[in-house]
Amino acid sequence: MRLAGLYVITEPALRDPIEGARLALEGGARIIQLRDKRSTTRQLVQRGQELRALTRPYEALLIINDRLDVALAVEADGVHLGQDDLPVALARQLAGEKFIIGASAETVEEARHAEAEGANYLGVGPMFATATKPDAGAPVGPERLRAIKQAVTIPVFGIGGITLQNAAQVLEAGADGICVISAIMGAADPAEATRQFLAMLAHRDV
């Protein structure tokens, strides 16, 4: 599956991850990330197994946030690593060449380093102010994403505070896709919110 388009991330504070993922999948999402900073390792494994069973019929990618051990245990398609997580190069060594490894980047230097270590895609942000990740730095904005996109050859996703109203700015800066949390997981109807994002992306040939 091409690493582009809509990338939906769960958030337990907004909606149960399993329910949220199910609704996003019904709405057409085909990349789901399990992001859960609160659960124990055993709880993460259980949720990961449930999500793996949920995503398979849709042939959707399942990415686990932060935890390579959990990702491998539940046979996920990949892992997303932040700057304070396991180094990309070590994750690549442990997981193999076919495993998808995403990396967070806020600067051109971080982006180039992640690509050199073997990352398959980048999550660049926060694009805009976001309440989902309180420890996130100041928004990097679309112009920083543009610079990063020009500096690497792997797909680049914008993340952080992205809504239907501002997503176009991220795409116009060159993003291959957008990562969405609150605008889908916090929506009254996540399936419909997913459809709206996909329609917007289709209109822009993303």
DSSP the chain: --S-EEEEE--TTTS-HHHHHHHHHHTT--EEEE--SSS-HHHHHHHHHHHHHHHGGGT-EEEEES-HHHHHHTT-SEEEE-TTSS-HHHHHHHH-TTSEEEEEESSHHHHHHHHHHT-SEEEE--SS--SS-TT--S--HHHHHHHHHHH-SS-EEEESS--TTTHHHHHHTT-SEEEESHHHHTSSSHHHHHHHHHHHHHHTT-
Residue 135 has pLDDT above 70, yes or no: no
Residue 122 has pLDDT above 70, yes or no: yes
Domain count of the chain?
1
Taking only the tens place, the pLDDT of each residue in 7-48 is 999 999 999 999 999 999 999 999 999 999 999 999 999 999
Q: Tell me what percent of the residues of the chain surpass a pLDDT of 70.
A: 97
CATH of the domain at 43: 3.20.20.70
Catalytic residues: 35, 104, 133
Taking only the tens place, the pLDDT of each residue in 61-111 is 999 999 999 999 999 999 999 999 999 999 999 999 999 999 999 999 999
Domain encompassing residue 139: 5-203
